[in-house]
Protein backbone atom coordinates (compact mmCIF):
# COMPACT_ATOMS: atom_id res chain seq x y z
CA UNK A 1 0.00 0.00 0.00
CA UNK A 2 1.42 3.35 -1.01
CA UNK A 3 1.51 6.10 1.62
CA UNK A 4 1.25 9.43 -0.15
CA UNK A 5 0.99 11.71 2.85
CA UNK A 6 3.15 11.48 5.94
CA UNK A 7 4.84 13.88 8.32
CA UNK A 8 8.50 13.27 7.64
CA UNK A 9 9.28 10.19 5.60
CA UNK A 10 10.47 8.42 8.76
CA UNK A 11 9.27 4.78 8.94
CA UNK A 12 8.65 5.02 12.70
CA UNK A 13 6.64 8.21 12.35
CA UNK A 14 4.66 6.72 9.48
CA UNK A 15 3.86 3.53 11.40
CA UNK A 16 2.70 5.60 14.37
CA UNK A 17 0.45 7.60 12.06
CA UNK A 18 -1.16 4.31 11.01
CA UNK A 19 -1.40 2.37 14.31
CA UNK A 20 0.02 4.65 16.99
CA UNK A 21 -3.21 5.90 18.52
CA UNK A 22 -4.52 4.70 21.87
CA UNK A 23 -6.81 2.00 20.45
CA UNK A 24 -5.64 0.43 17.18
CA UNK A 25 -3.27 -2.19 18.61
CA UNK A 26 -5.81 -2.98 21.34
CA UNK A 27 -8.35 -3.79 18.61
CA UNK A 28 -5.75 -5.93 16.82
CA UNK A 29 -5.09 -7.71 20.14
CA UNK A 30 -8.83 -8.30 20.56
CA UNK A 31 -9.04 -9.85 17.08
CA UNK A 32 -6.14 -12.16 17.99
CA UNK A 33 -8.17 -13.13 21.08
CA UNK A 34 -11.20 -14.05 18.99
CA UNK A 35 -13.26 -10.94 19.67
CA UNK A 36 -14.38 -10.69 16.08
CA UNK A 37 -17.60 -8.67 16.11
CA UNK A 38 -18.30 -5.10 17.10
CA UNK A 39 -20.38 -6.26 20.07
CA UNK A 40 -17.73 -8.75 21.28
CA UNK A 41 -15.06 -6.07 21.21
CA UNK A 42 -17.40 -3.68 23.03
CA UNK A 43 -18.42 -6.14 25.76
CA UNK A 44 -15.25 -8.22 26.20
CA UNK A 45 -12.64 -5.48 25.87
CA UNK A 46 -11.40 -4.72 29.42
CA UNK A 47 -10.37 -1.18 28.43
CA UNK A 48 -14.01 -0.24 27.62
CA UNK A 49 -13.55 1.40 24.23
CA UNK A 50 -16.31 3.83 23.27
CA UNK A 51 -18.49 2.72 20.34
CA UNK A 52 -17.70 5.78 18.21
CA UNK A 53 -13.96 5.28 18.72
CA UNK A 54 -14.21 1.57 17.90
CA UNK A 55 -16.19 2.31 14.75
CA UNK A 56 -13.59 4.89 13.69
CA UNK A 57 -10.63 2.55 14.31
CA UNK A 58 -12.25 -0.34 12.47
CA UNK A 59 -12.88 1.89 9.44
CA UNK A 60 -9.34 3.32 9.48
CA UNK A 61 -7.67 -0.06 9.84
CA UNK A 62 -9.84 -1.53 7.08
CA UNK A 63 -8.84 1.38 4.82
CA UNK A 64 -5.15 0.63 5.54
CA UNK A 65 -5.60 -3.09 4.86
CA UNK A 66 -4.92 -4.22 8.44
CA UNK A 67 -8.31 -5.88 8.85
CA UNK A 68 -11.40 -6.67 6.86
CA UNK A 69 -14.82 -8.12 7.54
CA UNK A 70 -17.41 -10.52 6.25
CA UNK A 71 -21.15 -10.13 6.63
CA UNK A 72 -22.55 -12.87 8.87
CA UNK A 73 -24.71 -15.17 6.73
CA UNK A 74 -27.14 -15.76 9.61
CA UNK A 75 -27.60 -12.09 10.55
CA UNK A 76 -26.84 -9.63 7.75
CA UNK A 77 -26.47 -6.78 10.29
CA UNK A 78 -23.43 -8.44 11.92
CA UNK A 79 -19.93 -8.00 10.53
CA UNK A 80 -17.29 -10.56 11.46
CA UNK A 81 -13.89 -8.85 11.49
CA UNK A 82 -10.60 -10.57 10.80
CA UNK A 83 -6.96 -9.60 10.45
CA UNK A 84 -5.39 -9.59 7.02
CA UNK A 85 -1.82 -10.86 6.63
CA UNK A 86 -0.74 -7.23 7.12
CA UNK A 87 -2.56 -7.17 10.46
CA UNK A 88 -1.18 -10.55 11.52
CA UNK A 89 2.32 -9.21 10.84
CA UNK A 90 1.80 -6.74 13.70
CA UNK A 91 2.04 -9.56 16.25
CA UNK A 92 5.85 -9.53 16.69
CA UNK A 93 5.73 -5.77 17.33
CA UNK A 94 2.88 -6.18 19.82
CA UNK A 95 4.77 -9.02 21.52
CA UNK A 96 7.87 -6.86 21.94
CA UNK A 97 5.80 -3.97 23.32
CA UNK A 98 4.17 -6.31 25.85
CA UNK A 99 7.54 -7.65 26.98
CA UNK A 100 9.02 -4.17 27.25
CA UNK A 101 6.12 -3.21 29.52
CA UNK A 102 6.41 -6.38 31.65
CA UNK A 103 10.16 -5.84 32.00
CA UNK A 104 10.02 -2.21 33.11
CA UNK A 105 6.70 -1.68 34.90
CA UNK A 106 4.78 -3.30 37.73
CA UNK A 107 1.01 -3.45 37.62
CA UNK A 108 -1.86 -5.87 38.27
CA UNK A 109 -2.04 -8.28 35.36
CA UNK A 110 -5.32 -9.21 33.69
CA UNK A 111 -6.24 -12.90 34.24
CA UNK A 112 -5.80 -13.62 30.51
CA UNK A 113 -2.28 -12.19 30.67
CA UNK A 114 -1.44 -14.34 33.69
CA UNK A 115 -2.74 -17.42 31.90
CA UNK A 116 -0.86 -16.55 28.70
CA UNK A 117 2.40 -16.08 30.64
CA UNK A 118 1.96 -19.43 32.39
CA UNK A 119 1.14 -21.25 29.15
CA UNK A 120 4.19 -19.82 27.41
CA UNK A 121 6.79 -19.91 30.18
CA UNK A 122 8.74 -22.76 28.55
CA UNK A 123 8.59 -21.41 24.99
CA UNK A 124 11.11 -19.18 23.27
CA UNK A 125 10.08 -15.76 21.96
CA UNK A 126 10.39 -17.08 18.42
CA UNK A 127 8.11 -20.04 19.20
CA UNK A 128 5.51 -17.87 20.91
CA UNK A 129 5.36 -15.43 18.01
CA UNK A 130 5.26 -18.14 15.34
CA UNK A 131 2.61 -20.13 17.22
CA UNK A 132 0.37 -17.09 17.74
CA UNK A 133 0.57 -16.04 14.12
CA UNK A 134 -0.01 -19.56 12.80
CA UNK A 135 -2.85 -20.13 15.24
CA UNK A 136 -4.60 -16.99 14.04
CA UNK A 137 -4.11 -17.93 10.38
CA UNK A 138 -5.59 -21.37 11.10
CA UNK A 139 -8.54 -19.76 12.90
CA UNK A 140 -9.09 -17.38 9.98
CA UNK A 141 -8.99 -20.31 7.54
CA UNK A 142 -11.48 -22.24 9.63
CA UNK A 143 -13.90 -19.34 10.05
CA UNK A 144 -13.48 -17.45 6.78
CA UNK A 145 -12.05 -20.05 4.42
CA UNK A 146 -8.74 -18.31 3.60
pLDDT in tens, the chain (146 residues): 888 777 888 889 889 989 999 999 999 999 999 999 999 999 999 999 999 999 999 999 999 999 999 998 889 999 999 999 999 999 999 999 999 999 999 999 999 999 999 999 999 999 999 999 999 999 999 988 88
Q: What is the pLDDT of residue 46?
A: 92
Q: What is the pLDDT of residue 117?
A: 95
Within a domain: 33:
yes
Within a domain: 1:
no
Give me the number of domains the chain comprises. Answer: 1
Within a domain: 43:
yes
37: left (phi over 0), alpha (psi -120 to 50) or beta: beta
Within a domain: 3:
no
Within a domain: 5:
no
Q: What is the pLDDT of residue 106?
A: 95
Q: What is the pLDDT of residue 136?
A: 96
Q: What is the pLDDT of residue 8?
A: 84
**DSSP state letters, 89-119:** TTHHHHHHHHHHHHHH---PPPHHHHHHHHH
* C-alpha span between 60 and 44 (Å, rounded): 21
Q: What is the pLDDT of residue 2?
A: 84
Within a domain: 6:
no
Within a domain: 36:
yes
Within a domain: 75:
yes
Domain residues for the domain of 55 are 11-144
* C-alpha span between 30 and 54 (Å, rounded): 12
**What is the CATH number for 26?**
1.10.10.10
Amino acid sequence: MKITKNRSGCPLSTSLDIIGDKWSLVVVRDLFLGRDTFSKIMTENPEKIASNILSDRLKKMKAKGILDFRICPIDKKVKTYYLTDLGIDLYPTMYELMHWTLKHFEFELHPLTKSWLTENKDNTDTEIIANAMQSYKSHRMEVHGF
